[in-house]
Amino acid sequence: MARFWCAVLILACLELSTRVGTAPICSYGQAGCHTPSLADIFDRVIQQSSRMHGISSDLHSEFEQYFFPSKNLIGKPKCHTHGIVTPADKENAQRLGREQLTEVILRLLGAWGDPLLQLYRSMSQDQNQDFNHYSSNKALEISDMVHELRDGVAKMAEKMKLSGVLGNTVGYISPEGLVPSSSFSFYKHGELNSMDHHDLLYCFRRDSNKIKNYLQILKCTTLPGLDC
C-alpha cells in the first residue's frame, strides 16, 4: 500500500515537473517565445534591487540592536568598494550618462558577490551567537540576490545595446578587475569577527541603495514613463 502511494506521488511529481519544464526559456529570442520587453526587465531588476536593499537594511539594524544596543559610535567603517567612484548626488548621477552608470552598477554588483558569500559562511559557522545562527539565512538570501541581479543587469545591458539605447563602451567586467585586491586586505579570509560582519553589513546596505537608485535613474532616462 505504501509503495502504491509512493508510486503515485512520484508520477504526480514527474508530471508537474515536466509541465514546468516545458515552459520555454527564451534566452536567445527564439521564435514563438515571449521575450520580456525592456520595460519588463527594468521593472524586474528594480524590484529585485529594492528587495535586496530591504533585506540588508533589516539585517543591519537587527545586528546593531543585538550587538551594539547602546548606540555609541562604532567608529568609521571603511568599505572595500570605496575605490569605485560613484556619483553621490543627483546632478552627478545625471551627468554620468547611461553607459557609465551601467558600468558602475555592474562593478558594484561584481564587487559584492564574494564578500557576501564569505559573510554567510562566517555567520553560519559561528554557533556561539544566536543572532548569527538565525540571521545567516538572510545573508545567504542577499548573497544569491547579488548574483542574480548581476546577471539580470548584464542581460538588460545587452538588450539596451541591441536596441541602440546603450553605446558599446560597456564591456563585460570581470569581478577581479573591478576591485583592487588591496581593498580585501582588511577582510581576513575565512576568519571574520563581529566587527567585520558589522562593517560588511553597513557597507552593503549603502551600496545596495546606490544600486537601486542608479537603476531607477537609468530606467527613467531610458524609458520615461508613469513610474518616474
Partner 1 sequence: TTDDIGLILTVVCHMLSGTSPPGKPVLLSCRSPEKETFTCWWEPGSDGGLPTTYRLYYERERLEGVHECPDYWSAGSNSCFFNKTHTLIWVDYYLTVVASNALGNATSDIFKMDVMEIMKPNVPENVTLLVVETEDSPYLHIRWEHPRNTDTESGWVTIKYELRIKQEKNNKWKEYMSGTQSHFSLYSIAPGGVYTVQVRCKLDHGSWSEWTNSTNVKVPNYVQNERSFWILVATLSAIPFMAAMCILIVKRENVKQCVLPPVPGPKIRGVDFHLLMSGQSEDSTNALIINQNFPLIVGWKDQMEEYLIVTENDIGPPSDASHCQKRKKSLIIPAGFCSDWEIQCKSTHIQNDCAGGTKNETGNFPKNNKSLSGESLSYMEPSKLQKQQCLGQNFVNTEATDPSPLNYDNAVKPFTNSGYVDIRKHVENTQEVNVKQVDYSRVEDVNGDNVFILNNKNLAFNSSGYMDFQRQEEKLSEDYSRVKEVGSNNVVVLQIQDMSADTKNPHATGAHKMGVCTELINSEYIDTIPAPPLM
Which chain residues interact with partner 1 by CB under 8 A?
53-54, 57, 73, 76, 86, 88-91, 93-94, 206, 209-210, 212-213, 216-221, 224, 226-228
Answer left, alpha or beta for residue 218, where phi above 0 means left and psi between -120 and 50 means alpha: alpha
* Distance in Å, CB of 143 to partner 1, minimum: 20
Query: For residues 160 and 103, what is the distance between their CA atoms, to the nearest angstrom?
Result: 13
Residue with smaller CB distance to partner 1, 19 or 71: 71
For the stretch 189-194, contacts whose Cβ atoms lie closer than 8 Å and that sit 24 or more positions apart, written own/partner, are 189/118, 190/118, 190/122, 191/122, 192/118, 192/119, 192/122, 194/67, 194/129
Residue with smaller CB distance to partner 1, 31 or 226: 226
Residue with smaller CB distance to partner 1, 198 or 212: 212
In the chain the first and final C-alpha atoms are separated, in Å, by: 60
Read off the C-alpha cell for 18. Answer: 515536466
Nearest one of 79, 152, 145 to 117, comparing CA atoms: 145
Q: Are 112 and 146 in contact (CB under 8 A)?
A: yes
CA 181 to chain CA centroid, Å, is 21
* Distance in Å, CB of 159 to partner 1, minimum: 18
* Distance in Å, CB of 71 to partner 1, minimum: 10
User: Rounded to 5 degrees, what are φ and ψ at 128?
Assistant: -70, -45
Residue with smaller CB distance to partner 1, 123 or 149: 149
* Distance in Å, CB of 219 to partner 1, minimum: 6
* Distance in Å, CB of 81 to partner 1, minimum: 11
Residue with smaller CB distance to partner 1, 106 or 211: 211
* Distance in Å, CB of 227 to partner 1, minimum: 6
Residue with smaller CB distance to partner 1, 164 or 224: 224
Query: For residues 49 and 133, what is the distance between their CA atoms, to the nearest angstrom?
Result: 25
Cell 548581476, residue?
150
